[in-house]
Amino acid sequence: MATNLVVRNIEPSVAQALKEAAARHGRSAEAEHREILRAALAQPARRTFKDVLASMPDVGTDEDFNLRQG
């Protein structure tokens, strides 16, 4: 279900920047505003534990992590 949102007391420079961004993207200021909100509030895709481990750099040796070093 769509909901209306009214934003008040926006600085003129911010409103102008929104209009310019909208023109660059070929859409209305309202559509640009929706896209900015959508992008800002979107949840990032969750990575699996396996993906996180695989992205870690391969540095050091097993001995570097030995807690019983003399």
21-24-28 Cα angle (round to 5): 65
> How many other CB atoms sit within 10 Å of the CB of residue 35?
14
pLDDT of residue 13: 97
pLDDT at 70 over 80: no
For helices 29-41 and 12-25, give the axis angle rounded to 10 degrees. Answer: 90
CA–CA gap between residue 43 and residue 49 (Å, rounded)? 17
Q: What is the pTM of this model?
A: 0.60
Amino acid (one-letter) located at 39: A
| 22, 28 Cβ separation under 8 angstroms | yes
